[in-house]
A = this chain, B = another copy of it.
Amino acid sequence: MKCSKCNMDAVAHQPYSGAHLCRKHLIEDVERKVKKDIRQLQMVEKNDSIAVALSGGKDSVVLLYLLHKLFSKRPDITLFAVTIDEGISGYREHTIEIAQKVTDMLGIQLHVISMKGELGKSLDEVAAEERDKGACSFCGVFRKKLLNMTARKLGATKLAVGHNLDDEAQTAFLNVLRGDVGRMSRMHKKQQGLVYRIKPLRSVPEKEVALYAILQNLPVDFSECPYAHEAMRGEVRDIINSIEVKHPGTKYSILRGSDETARLLNIAQQDVTLSVCSVCGEPTAAEVCQSCRLLGQKQDMVDFVKG
């Protein structure tokens, strides 16, 4: 099959656009989508200092590479990377190596933050004690907190995360299945104490992110985290993928509808004012933040956090 834009061999097919694309034009198309979203959603502003959440997986490596490609010539924009080392034996060591490799390659500063160092226990230790709950619910809360804390302490004005189109469509879908209107409206909200999160890859399908990484020869790790993923998200991923096959473009429809809904919900709702967690001092809508509530089930960890 030939590229729809030139005479080269196609490396990718986009059922949602009807196009077949060669290496050059697929790369161009991914970059066009990212640039368009950054511009339209004003993700990057003058004098921004952007903390990039870098796990070493394909999404975050492509994210860092693209932000570097787009903004490294801008003297007013600072980029640095933050990797959370959750302490997942046999998995995280390798992705941290990749994070070091890619930041070395691009000349970007990397901060590796250890969950055990910050919260007193590694995820492996938490998982061993919480066999019934699964590690993912803890990991998500702890990782988010540490990323925000680190970005804020290092003076970041933005926190870039590697969520792609599939992730965003799945999240929108999960919110609908759960009837979670609060989460729907919080998707783009600026909140005090929380470094504003930007998602430059949100319009790029997961497949194209992976292909971009391969075509650009980026050092990435395609292995999966050994802990099972959130069960319902896995189901939703399969559901959306099977709908997308029959109705190409559905992921984009979900994303656009979700954006428009969030925009209107934000008009209708009053801003939630965040206060600070009485245990750790980090921003929260409640008296004690979710991270400390989870940790609080283990008094030793609360004592640790309290100092």
Chain A residues close to B by CB (< 8 Å): 172-173, 175-181, 184-185, 232, 235, 239, 243, 246-247, 250, 252-258, 260-261, 264-265, 267-269
Chain B residues near A267: list those with CB within 8 A: 267-268
Given contacts A265-B265, A267-B268, contact A179 B232 (CB under 8 A): no
Say how far A10's CB is from chain B's closest CB, in angstroms: 28
CA distance A260 to B268 in the complex (A): 11
Number of copies: 2
Task: List 14 A-B pairs, Cβ < 8 Å.
Answer: A175-B257, A176-B257, A176-B258, A177-B254, A179-B254, A181-B257, A181-B261, A184-B257, A232-B247, A235-B246, A264-B269, A267-B267, A267-B268, A268-B268
In the complex, are the beta carbons of A178 and B253 less than 8 A apart? yes
Which of B176, B246, B268 is close to A264, meaning CB atoms less than 8 Å apart? B268
Say how far A265's CB is from chain B's closest CB, in angstroms: 5
Question: Counting chain B CB atoms within 10 Å of each CB, which of A176, A255, A260 scores highest?
Answer: A176
What residue of chain B has the Cβ atom nearest to residue A182's Cβ?
A: B260
